[in-house]
Structure 1
Amino acid sequence: MQQDTQNDAALAIGQRLAEIRNGKSQGAFAEELGIHKNSLGHYERGNRVPDAAVLLKLVEMGVSANWVLTGEGTKDAKGSREALTQDIEKLRKLDEEFALIPGYNVQVAAGHGSLAGDESPTRELAFRRKWLRYRGLHEQDLALVFAKGDSMEPTISDNETVMVDTSERKLRDGHIYVIRNGDHLLVKRIQTLWNDGVQLLSDNKEYPPQEISSTDLESLEVIGRVVWVGKDL
């Protein structure tokens, strides 16, 4: 029920954005907002919600951010110039403090192989930029996906969100990676071998290691290293 409510809210925001666009092409309006046309399409279809930078642009255009997000009040940003300046500053600070990392409706198999789903962003999660800098992470390299299965228990549980750093594609001993093998995405811990091959290890010891020879490594695509796991307590 909560997910349905969130989807309805995102769709309503998208409809209000289309109303603001008022017949202008998506490409032209997206350029005014400083975003890609595909991003605007996601917003208008309710797949994603606009981030603080987009809301800031709308406010600068004279559109009420509150109306865009809630539908309440008037579409035009009315009030004193001082109040408008304060709204812009709040949005700017929000954008400076948080980065929105794209999430994909993709399952990576922590168990047996799982087919990848739609590889277009379907959601976003906010992370403090300070935390990302502390970890040495760059937001443009990060993506969120779902784990499926129990072979990486207790480190990664079924249906948990994992963050992948797609700039980390060199396999390093002891780290966890998302790897594509044909149509399947796997999440496994890596152990390098003396013969230049690797073992794909499961943290759940009920699953045996999978040895990959140096020759077979060429057929694998390393998507990136797992750098964060979302845990429900």
Structure 2
Amino acid sequence: MSDQLAEFAQRLTHVVNGKGGLTAVSAGSDVPLSTLGRYVRGESEPSAFRLAAISRFCGVSVEELVFGAEAYPKLTAGFIDAPQNWGSDSSDDPDVVMIPLLEVIASAGPGYENARPYELKRLPFPRTWLQRLGLPEKYARFLGIDGDSMEPTIMDGWIVLVDIRPKHARADGIYVLVDGPNVRVKRVAIGWQNAIVLISDNERYQSETLSPPDAEALQVAGRVVWAGGEI
């Protein structure tokens, strides 16, 4: 067993035990019990889909399971706390892409005012996952999320991966929306005659319907393609 796989197995064991044990996590994530057991023993490595299912049920990010929570900046009181000595902006690993983490906080709730965004740091992301998403490296950005209106799809405090190419919501999906200085993340559904419905995945929040003129004026900064798993 490699050191990296052993460390992953230890983190996974800790998370699984904290969520009620193997049986509870297996049932909640729909990962077979025997398969989950191999993961925590370090006998095999989960696929991206099963890793995302486990992380979602356990309420942790894939990054925390794979790399460890201490390797990533935290969201505190709506701001990204990124220590100056955190990590490195480059990687010698050809299987890893270093993606910019922007100073923008996208609100999953009421609009959150952002100053002109700048790059805080670069975070590692598996190159093969980026390729599977069909997202060229130069169009990939990480953003922080504040608020619970997109739970359980996107949890409060998560960091999400955004494809910055889309500037209009032409298809259903989760988008980063800009309203003046405010940045929000919402699920967008295209309705009758190109009207747009802004949906919060958390059922406690009501949807918002935009008329075709308002929908056409909607500013899009990108599409969320990954948040602890593919979206």
For the aligned pair, the TM-score class normalised by the smaller chain equals: 0.5 to 0.7
Find the aligned partners of 1:210 and 1:227 in 2 and give their Cα distance: 22
Instruction: Please say if residues 168 and 218 of structure 2, whose CA atoms lie closer than 8 Å, have aligned partners that are also in contact.
Output: no
Percent of counterpart pairs with the same letter?
34
Is the 1:181–1:219 contact (alpha carbons within 8 Å) kept by the matching residues of 2?
A: no
Residues in 1 aligned to 2:158 and 2:217: alpha-carbon distance in whole angstroms = 27
| Secondary structure in 2 matching 1:108 | strand
How far apart, in 1, do the equivalents of 2:156 and 2:104 lie?
A: 13
Q: Find out whether 1:51 has 2:127 as its counterpart.
A: no
Aligned with 1:208: secondary structure?
A: coil
Amino acid of the structure 1 residue aligned with 2:135: L
Q: Is the Cα–Cα contact under 8 Å of residues 110 and 188 in structure 1 kept in the other structure? A: yes
- Alpha-carbon distance between aligned partners in 2 of 1:106 and 1:198, rounded to the nearest angstrom: 24
Aligned to 1:175: 173
Query: Once the two structures are superposed, what CA deviation does each residue of 1:103-128 show, in whole Å capped at 9, x if it has no partner?
Result: 01211110111112451110111112
Give the alignment of 1:129-148 within 5 angstroms.
129-148=127-146
| Rounded Cα–Cα distance in structure 2 between residues aligned with 1:183 and 1:218 | 19
Across the aligned residues of Structure 1 and Structure 2, the Cα RMSD in angstroms comes to: 2.3
| 2:95 alignment partner in structure 1 | 97
* Higher mean displacement: 144-153 or 173-182: 173-182
> Alpha-carbon deviation of 1:226?
0.4
Shift of 1:8: 5.2
Q: 2-side partners of 1:190 and 1:173: how far apart?
A: 8
Q: Please say if residues 195 and 214 of structure 1, whose CA atoms lie closer than 8 Å, have aligned partners that are also in contact.
A: yes
TM-superposed deviation, 1:158 = 1.1
Q: Which runs of 5+ in 1 are unaligned?
A: 11-47, 53-90
Q: What is the distance in 2 between the residues matched to 1:212 and 1:178?
A: 16
Q: Which residue of 1 aligns with 2:126?
A: 128
1:97 and 1:151, CA in 2 relative to 1: closer, same or farther beyond 3 A? same
| Residue aligning to 2:83 | 7
* Deviation larger for 157-166 or 209-218: 209-218
Mark the runs of 5 or more structure 2 residues left unpaired by the alignment: 1-69, 74-81
Match of 1:112 among 110, 122, 138: 110
Distance in 1, matches of 2:203 and 2:178, equals: 22
How many residues are paired up? Answer: 151
Task: Indicate how the Cα distance of structure 1 residues 9 and 114 shifts in structure 2: closer, same or farther if over 3 A, else same.
Answer: closer
- Higher RCO (C-alpha 8 Å, min separation 6): 2
What is the distance in 2 between the residues matched to 1:50 and 1:104? 13
CA shift for structure 1 position 195: 2.3
**Structure 2 Cα separation of the partners of residues 230 and 194 of structure 1:** 32
Q: Tell me the distance in 1 between the aligned counterparts of 2:117 and 2:149.
A: 23
Is the CA contact 1:107–1:117 (under 8 Å) kept in the aligned structure 2?
A: no
TM-score, with length taken from structure 2:
0.59
- Flag the structure with larger Rg: 1
